């Protein structure tokens, strides 16, 4: 009946085998509601981009998500080229009652950007940008980027015109989910979160309308071509932290640009946790490092990183501050880190400043692998979170025995500074972000193919970590949380849910632990599970 569904046939059989087609109320291949082949092929021809179907070689390559533990099998992947392609895809999915998944890079740590049996709308090929170098709403100018741009590409573009922008540390992460979840940056302590720098968006909503929204207006381009405007900016507020895959598909983001500082420096300083003579120094070092964060000048941003693996010199583990200074090398703020440089130099594995010229030069250095497999847990740490009990938790965590070969690491992304200068209701991120000094994520990274039990281990470890802080970052959290609404959005959740119900009452857009996903009927709950739970045992791995 569907001759092109070679690999898709496997999907359909698997879905039936798992009993899903009988319970979800979105249309799947094999059901009478599903569009015939010619209809699907004609839809593909209507696009500026392409529609990849499971029998095609490119589908096999593209279907693998960047976080490979979450790869799933959509019924087709729209490789969109334009906002109109996104609109066409939404209208097609609405007409045939298809489940939709939205993907920019596919890096989501909870697998929210893919789903079995969905029509996947992939924005990774939408990479246009345009800049204005001085604008009435921001003297240093602004840049508009399609959602498929990676941060490295945008850093390179703005550097050419002598500007900087608040974006992610990774080279392969895209604007979309990063920004909609909040977006922290090596420069957040100087300029705030990505959502604090967002000026405007263009979005396709669940009805296929094209929306332009900023903090004082929302303009709707209706399907009949008419345009209406209102000064209600609820949807813009919701998009500034309420998460991806929820309110609509954002095709363009407009961000503030900033003038570059007169210099950039890095400071990396690492110590083992247990020295080769078996002395445990980790507790003393970690305490010293977190004390350095108390009065940290806002020019400094960066990361507190730990891992629990053996070192070549028979010492064990490492704790590191990997810092970046945004300002002149001669500024007094730069020498703030001297105190750590002079702290037990005989214990250090490495400790040095490096003088750089530009933020791009700093950003060009770290290289993230294009594909990862990681299970995360997270908490937002406030000043009073760094107790002795927490320090003990960190070392116990790094030494955790995993059910399969894997590495346990932690990364604390330093926030505070300008991030704390924004009111708790100004954006929709968890209010805990505004008093946090660090977003702390623990990662379990499988070594090799066997991931059995690692996801469960991460879920088991998540509650205790959460107790140290207030709130969790939805983009770097655990996939199996209870009460995620409160953990991700706190007192902002109520307003987010009411905006979701207003803009997308039927949950056309849905994903795991996303605003409104609890509204789904029991049959819809399986659609939500389809973003990862039901199939975890058999199909998380390809
Ligand atoms: C190596 C690495 C480094 C990272 N570094 C940082 C960092 O420095 N700072 C930080 O804050 N986070 C960081 N993250 C986390 C990152 O924010 C999340 O992985 C985020 O989900 C990535 O967004 P994406 O659009 O690239 O991913 P995707 O998986 O494509 O999308 C994530 C979610 O957003 C939705 N979505 C994507 N695009 C759109 C869109 N245009 N409109 C509506 N919904 C959309 C998807 O449906 C999904 O729900 C990092 C992740 C990795 C893997």
How would you class 23 by CB atoms within 10 Å of its CB: exposed for 0-12, middle for 13-18, buried for 19 or more? middle
Report the residue among 176, 186, 378 best suited for mutation to probe ligand 1: largest number of ligand atoms under 8 A from its CB. 176
The whole domain housing 412 covers 264-487
Cα of 168 from ligand 1 centre, angstroms: 9
Mean pLDDT, range 166-187, rounded to an integer:
96
* 281 and 225 both lie in a single domain: no
Pocket lining for ligand 1, CB < 6 angstroms: 102-109, 112-113, 123, 147, 168-170, 173-174, 176-178, 180-181, 183-184, 244-245, 249-250, 368, 372, 475-476, 511
**pLDDT the model gives residue 519:** 82
Higher pLDDT, 14 or 94: 94
Ligand 1, atom 33: nearest CA belongs to which residue? Answer: 177
How far apart are alpha carbons 362 and 227 in whole angstroms? 44
* 353 and 238 both lie in a single domain: no
Residue 229: inside a domain, yes or no? yes
**Mapping DSSP to helix (H, G, I), strand (E, B) and coil, where does residue 84 land?**
helix
* 338 and 463 both lie in a single domain: yes
Residue 319: inside a domain, yes or no? yes
* 466 and 529 both lie in a single domain: no
% of the chain residues with pLDDT over 90: 88
Cα of 177 from ligand 1 centre, angstroms: 4
* 330 and 453 both lie in a single domain: yes
CATH of residue 402 = 3.40.462.20
Number of domains in the chain: 3
Contacts of 212 by beta carbon, 8 Å cutoff, 6+ apart: 200, 201, 202, 203, 218, 219, 221
Cα of 89 from ligand 1 centre, angstroms: 21
CATH of residue 164 = 3.30.465.10
Residue 322: inside a domain, yes or no? yes
Does residue 22 have a pLDDT over 80?
A: no
Does residue 520 have a pLDDT over 80?
A: no
How far apart are alpha carbons 215 and 272 in whole angstroms? 48
Index of the ligand 1 atom closest to the CA of residue 186? 8
- Which of these three, 256, 278, 300, is where a domain ends? 256
Does residue 446 have a pLDDT over 80?
A: yes
Q: pLDDT tens-digit profile of 62-75? A: 999 999 999 999 99
Residue 356: inside a domain, yes or no? yes
List C-alpha distances in Å: 445 to 115, 308, 377.
22, 12, 12
- Which of these three, 228, 256, 284, is where a domain ends? 256
Q: Label residue 25 by pLDDT band (50, 70, 90).
A: confident
The answer to whether the pTM exceeds 0.85 is: yes
Rounded to the nearest 5 degrees, what angle is found at the Cα of 185, between the Cα atoms of 182 and 188?
90
Higher pLDDT, 222 or 538: 222
**Mapping DSSP to helix (H, G, I), strand (E, B) and coil, where does residue 365 land?**
coil
* 244 and 369 both lie in a single domain: no
Index of the ligand 1 atom closest to the CA of residue 114? 47
**pLDDT the model gives residue 368:** 80
% of the chain residues with pLDDT over 70: 91
Contacts of 264 by beta carbon, 8 Å cutoff, 6+ apart: 324, 325, 326, 356, 357, 358, 359, 361, 362
Residue 1: inside a domain, yes or no? no
Mean pLDDT, range 342-370, rounded to an integer:
92
* 240 and 287 both lie in a single domain: no
* 19 and 67 both lie in a single domain: yes
Cα of 522 from ligand 1 centre, angstroms: 28
Q: Label residue 372 by pLDDT band (50, 70, 90).
A: confident
CATH of residue 14 = 3.30.43.10
φ/ψ of residue 205, rounded to 5: -95, 180
* 251 and 268 both lie in a single domain: no
Q: pLDDT tens-digit profile of 478-494? A: 999 999 999 999 999 99
**pLDDT the model gives residue 163:** 98
Q: Label residue 366 by pLDDT band (50, 70, 90).
A: low
* 439 and 535 both lie in a single domain: no
Does residue 8 have a pLDDT over 90?
A: no
- Which of these three, 487, 506, 524, is where a domain ends? 487
Q: pLDDT tens-digit profile of 464-473? A: 999 999 999 9
Give the β-pairing of 142-146 and 198-204. unpaired
**Strands, E assignment, 59-205:** 76-79, 100-103, 119-122, 129-132, 142-146, 198-204
* 461 and 522 both lie in a single domain: no
Report the residue among 83, 150, 168, 197 best suited for mutation to probe ligand 1: largest number of ligand atoms under 8 A from its CB. 168
Index of the ligand 1 atom closest to the CA of residue 369? 1
What are the helix and strand counts (H, E) for the chain? 17, 18
Residue for token pair 């085998």: 17
Give the β-pairing of 316-326 and 375-382. unpaired
Please state, rounded to an integer, the average pLDDT across all residues of the chain: 91
Cα of 531 from ligand 1 centre, angstroms: 15
Dihedral angle, C-alpha 12, 17, 20, 25, nearest 10 °: 50
* 278 and 410 both lie in a single domain: yes
How far apart are alpha carbons 83 and 77 in whole angstroms? 16
């Amino acid at each position: 009946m569907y001759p092109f569904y070679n690999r898709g046939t496997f999907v359909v059989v698997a879905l039936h085998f798992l009993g899903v087609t009988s319970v979800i109320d979105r249309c799947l291949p094999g059901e009478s509601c599903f569009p015939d082949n010619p209809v699907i092929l004609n839809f593909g021809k209507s696009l500026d981009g392409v529609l990849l179907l499971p029998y095609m070689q490119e589908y096999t390559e593209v279907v693998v998500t960047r976080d490979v533990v979450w790869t799933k099998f959509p019924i087709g992947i729209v490789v969109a080229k334009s906002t109109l392609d996104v609109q066409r895809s939404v209208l097609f999915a609405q007409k045939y009652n298809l489940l939709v998944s939205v993907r920019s890079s596919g890096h989501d740590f909870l697998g929210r950007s893919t789903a079995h049996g969905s029509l996947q709308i992939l924005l990774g090929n939408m990479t246009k940008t345009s800049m204005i170098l001085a604008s009435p709403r921001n003297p240093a100018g602004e840049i508009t980027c399609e959602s498929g741009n990676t941060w490295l590409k945008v850093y390179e573009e703005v550097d050419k015109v002598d500007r900087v922008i608040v974006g992610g540390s990774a080279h392969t992460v895209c604007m979309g989910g990063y920004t909609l979840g909040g977006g922290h940056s090596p420069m957040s302590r100087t300029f705030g979160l990505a959502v604090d720098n967002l000026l405007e968006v263009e979005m396709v909503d669940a009805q296929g309308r094209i929306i332009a929204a900023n903090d004082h207006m929302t303009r709707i381009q209706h399907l009949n071509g008419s345009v209406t405007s209102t000064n209600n900016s609820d949807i813009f507020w919701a998009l500034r932290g309420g998460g991806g895959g929820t309110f609509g598909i954002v095709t363009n983001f407009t961000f503030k640009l900033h003038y570059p500082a007169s210099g950039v420096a890095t400071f990396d300083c690492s110590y083992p946790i247990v020295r080769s003579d078996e002395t445990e120094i980790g507790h003393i070092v970690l305490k010293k490092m977190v004390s350095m964060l108390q009065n940290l000048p806002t020019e400094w941003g960066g990361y507190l990183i730990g891992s629990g693996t053996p070192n070549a010199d028979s010492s064990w583990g490492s704790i590191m501050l990997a810092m970046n200074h945004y300002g002149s090398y001669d500024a007094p703020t730069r020498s703030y880190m001297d105190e750590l440089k002079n702290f037990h130099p005989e214990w250090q594995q490495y400790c040095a400043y490096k003088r750089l010229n530009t933020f791009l030069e700093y950003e060009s250095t770290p290289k993230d692998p294009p594909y990862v497999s990681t299970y995360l847990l997270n908490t937002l740490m406030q000043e009073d979170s760094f107790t002795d009990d927490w320090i003990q938790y960190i070392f116990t965590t790094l030494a955790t025995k995993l059910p399969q070969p894997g590495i346990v690491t932690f990364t604390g992304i330093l926030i505070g500074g300008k991030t704390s200068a924004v009111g708790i209701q100004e954006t929709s991120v968890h209010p805990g972000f505004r008093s946090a000094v660090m977003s702390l994520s623990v990662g379990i990274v499988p070594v090799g193919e066997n991931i059995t039990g690692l996801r469960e281990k991460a879920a088991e470890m998540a509650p205790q970590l959460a107790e140290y802080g207030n709130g969790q970052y939805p983009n770097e959290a655990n996939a199996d949380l209870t009460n995620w609404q409160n953990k991700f959005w706190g007192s902002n959740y109520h307003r987010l849910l009411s905006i979701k119900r207003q803009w997308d009452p039927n949950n056309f857009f849905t994903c795991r632990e996303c605003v409104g996903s609890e509204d789904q009927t029991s049959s819809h709950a399986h659609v939500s599970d389809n973003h990862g739970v039901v199939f975890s045992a058999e199909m998380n791995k390809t």
